[in-house]
């Protein structure tokens, strides 16, 4: 399978600032790649180069086998793009605007009507089609931008913060739509909502200061969290203090920390599973357990750690 998006050694400089610093990756059909990263990391800049808006300082981008530098129009035909902030002509109504996009995309007649109906219905724009975009709420503006991006059923979708400003129902809808479309497209989204990565992305890429600092499935990223395979348990009042001391001595347990809500979180040494030995000890001592669960890992924790290097490490010394 050839990659739908292929990026090699991409660099973008704005004067002295290196916004994108030697990024290489590829995206295959069926993949949903999530860009994560702090503000100013270079996510939008990368997307602008893939879609042909910005010219890279150096590096190569191929989309569906066409080089963006050589045949930008062929690339733009195959890409649906929601720019950051979802810009749209404010004086137009969504109806006129989407019709214009369809014309530019070369959709005609029945095909055009069908695609318009689908996008409008799927994105939930029916009620606002005749209102000028200027007067739409932020979420509806974003929806108009989304409808614009998926209108021509493109092979490649680049969505810069697609759910920003949407209400929870619509967020859910859009995530569903992305997952549904993922099957035969290559999709790149950027987001600051980490749960979205779990919900829709098959792969997550963390970018910081213009470089890729992590790239893997959401599960792989979560595995880098100190919460990965940690066990959280709640004991009946009174038992907690003694249990904490005993649990901390258990083999494979690196640290025990109260989580602030009456629960204890047990961090494993080197991320190895500890549920079995914890369960055994609990049974042996006959502690009254109200709740016990294994943590998968926390993306926000991983995110903080790899983008700042400042996530708290388990306090090895105090516990053992």
Partner 1 sequence: MTGLMPIFRRELAGYFATPVAYVFIVIFLVLSGVFCFYLGNFFERGQADLRPFFAFQPWLYLFLIPAIGMRLWAEERKTGTIELLMTLPVSLAGAVLGKFLAAWAFTAIALALTFPMWLTVAYLGQPDHGVILAGYVGSLLMAGGYLAIAACISAVTKNQVIAFVVAVVICFIFTVSGAPLVLDFFAAWAPQTILNAISSFSFITHFNAIVDGVIDLRDLVFFASLIGFWLFANAVVVDLKKASG
Ligand X SMILES: Nc1ncnc2c1ncn2[C@@H]1O[C@H](COP(=O)(O)OP(=O)(O)OP(=O)(O)O)[C@@H](O)[C@H]1O
CB 63 within 8 A of CB 75: yes
Binding letters toward Mg ion, positions 64-93, x by CB under 5 A: --------------------x---------
Binding letters toward Mg ion, positions 263-302, x by CB under 5 A: ----------------------------------------
User: How many Å apart are CA 189 and CA 80, to the nearest integer?
Assistant: 12
| Residue from the set 4, 32, 33, 88 that interacts with partner 1 by CB under 8 A | 88
| Residue from the set 58, 70, 103, 113 that interacts with partner 1 by CB under 8 A | 103
Q: Which residues are paired to 294 by β-bridges?
A: 231
Q: Does 43 bind ligand X (CB under 6 A)?
A: yes
Judged by CB under 5 A, the number of residues near Mg ion is 3
Q: Which stretch binds partner 1 (CB under 8 A): 97-105, 171-179, 236-244, 301-309?
A: 97-105
Among ligand X, partner 1, Mg ion, none, the one that 27 touches (CB under a kind-dependent 5 to 8 A) is none
Q: Does 55 bind ligand X (CB under 6 A)?
A: no
| Residue from the set 4, 10, 31, 45 that interacts with ligand X by CB under 6 A | 45
Q: How far is the CB of 150 from ligand X (least distance, A)?
A: 21
Q: Does 51 bind partner 1 (CB under 8 A)?
A: yes
Nearest to 75 by CA among 140, 2, 168, 154: 154
Among ligand X, partner 1, Mg ion, none, the one that 117 touches (CB under a kind-dependent 5 to 8 A) is none
Cα dihedral value 120, 125, 129, 134, nearest 10: -130
Q: Does 40 bind partner 1 (CB under 8 A)?
A: no
In the numeric block, the tokens 């949407």 are attached to 166
Q: Which stretch binds ligand X (CB under 6 A): 14-22, 96-104, 129-137, 247-255?
A: 14-22
- Contact partners, residue 217, CB within 8 Å, separation at least 6: 202, 203, 204
Binding letters toward partner 1, positions 129-158, x by CB under 8 A: -------------------x----------
Q: How far is the CB of 56 from partner 1 (least distance, A)?
A: 11
Q: Does 87 bind ligand X (CB under 6 A)?
A: no
3-state secondary structure of 100: helix
User: How many Å apart are CA 139 and CA 108, to the nearest integer?
Assistant: 29
User: How many Å apart are CA 37 and CA 210, to the nearest integer?
Assistant: 9
Q: 3-state DSSP: the chain helix, strand, coil percent, rounded to 5?
A: 40, 25, 35
Nearer to Mg ion, 84 or 173 (CB): 84
* Helix 138-150 vs helix 109-123: crossing angle, to nearest 10: 140
Among Mg ion, partner 1, ligand X, none, the one that 148 touches (CB under a kind-dependent 5 to 8 A) is partner 1
Q: Does 164 bind Mg ion (CB under 5 A)?
A: no
CB 189 within 8 A of CB 9: no
SS (H, E, C) 29-97: CCCEEEEECCCCCCHHHHHHHHCCCCCCCEEEEEECCEECCCCHHHHHHHEEEECCCCCCCCCCCHHHH
316 CB burial (10 A radius; 0-12, 13-18, 19+): exposed
Q: How far is the CB of 189 from ligand X (least distance, A)?
A: 12
- Residue ranges binding Mg ion (CB under 5 A): 43-44, 84
- Residue ranges binding ligand X (CB under 6 A): 14, 17, 19, 37, 39-45, 84
- Residue ranges binding partner 1 (CB under 8 A): 48, 51-55, 73, 76-77, 79, 81, 83, 85, 87-92, 96, 100-101, 103-106, 148
């Amino acid at each position: 399978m050839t990659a739908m998006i292929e990026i090699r050694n991409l660099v973008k400089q704005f004067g002295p600032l290196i916004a994108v610093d030697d990024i290489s990756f590829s995206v295959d059909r069926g993949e949903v790649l999530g860009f994560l990263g702090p503000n100013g990391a270079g996510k939008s800049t990368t997307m602008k180069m893939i879609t042909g808006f910005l010219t890279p300082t150096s590096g190569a981008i191929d989309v569906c086998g066409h080089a963006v530098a050589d045949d930008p129009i062929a690339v733009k035909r195959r890409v649906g793009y929601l720019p950051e902030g979802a810009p749209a002509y404010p004086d137009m109504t969504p109806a006129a605007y989407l019709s214009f996009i369809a014309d530019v995309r070369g959709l005609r007649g029945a095909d055009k009507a069908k695609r318009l109906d689908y996008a409008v219905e799927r994105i939930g724009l029916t009620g606002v089609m005749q209102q000028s975009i200027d007067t739409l709420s932020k979420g509806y503006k974003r929806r108009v931008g989304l409808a614009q991006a998926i209108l021509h059923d493109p092979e490649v979708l680049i969505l810069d913060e697609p759910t920003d400003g949407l209400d929870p129902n619509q967020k859910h809808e859009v995530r569903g739509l992305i997952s549904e479309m993922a099957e035969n497209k290559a999709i790149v989204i950027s987001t600051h909502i980490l749960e979205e990565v779990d919900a829709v992305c098959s792969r997550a890429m963390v970018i910081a200061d213009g470089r890729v600092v992590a790239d893997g499935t959401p599960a792989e990223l979560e595995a880098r969290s100190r919460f990965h395979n940690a066990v959280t348990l709640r004991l009946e009042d009174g038992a907690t203090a003694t249990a904490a001391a005993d649990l901390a001595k258990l083999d494979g347990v690196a640290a025990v920390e109260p989580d602030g809500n009456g629960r204890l979180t047990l961090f494993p040494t080197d991320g190895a599973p500890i549920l079995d030995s914890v369960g055994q000890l609990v049974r042996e001592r006959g502690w009254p357990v109200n709740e016990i669960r294994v943590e998968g890992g926390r993306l926000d924790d991983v995110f903080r750690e790899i983008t700042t290097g400042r996530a708290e490490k388990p306090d090895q010394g105090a516990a053992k």
